Structure 1
């Protein structure tokens, strides 16, 4: 009887664990429209369970301007990021492969030998987007989670902020850990930072 009870307990615990995992399984925006998602975005806030990433962001919590471009005949799109580093504007590009799931993308981050799955969890296309990124480093199989809040401008609405904070909590992270990016003005590659001001983002 004791053995049977122990097995039953393990099955119950296993079922509960499965339900908890299922509760945070990533899902992208319903009826996601890639063309509407393209264009200019600004990364206003980020959080991650990766200590190295968070330390890097704390050292340079600056708004990142993203320009997304997709060619209709291609199965990928390019994200060109521009941000200030050491008061100089730097630009990098990442190619995201499309997947069979609309709103879910894939890319490989060579610097850390990491495979990255990105999910646009919430967006209204015209104002805000909340993105979840799940990374797996090879060969260690180390897994990390990042959550990012994007806006079409350097402002964000309370409703968008609420969606972002809810996703942060769902993935076991604290809203107190969120890094709020600030603007140093428009980033033009090769240019210098001209001003520094706080993001007016309704409490981001």
Structure 2
């Protein structure tokens, strides 16, 4: 198998590491992504390939339609989550995990946290940039950014915890690329995970 073929096996982003040990891929959710740029890091002889897949600046991306609006003429909250679900499916398919693992591979949304920074208004064009930011013994964590195409502003950010069923994240990643390791937990994600844990403990005590 050629290195270039292997480099497309999993879509991850390693943060806070000047010398990446795995693949770094930012996947934008255009229907027809274009403009692939590959930078070869010559100092890392084993896993030095860094791949960035970027949408073309002229790409239309997605657009806010009248059916997406709420009473305030902004894109409604349920539409954000629906678009996140579609983008997550696209991310999994393009990471080749589904093809590699087959029917034994299942994930389910265990938690999600979305933060709105600016509203998306009628006929605004935007992209959803999805990436794996971490995985542990039970789940993958995906960050999704709603990026306004007119100026590149991140209008909303969603962080989703997707729990695995029938296998562990580590075993799935090893099947795709044995050299990949999880990106370190950011402080933002750590606090979010703590919040989810506290919520679960409170609900268990009350039930």
TM > 0.5 fold call: no
Please identify the structure whose Cα radius of gyration is greater. 1
- Give TM-score, length-normalised by structure 2: 0.29
- Which has the larger share of strand? 1
- Give TM-score, length-normalised by structure 1: 0.29
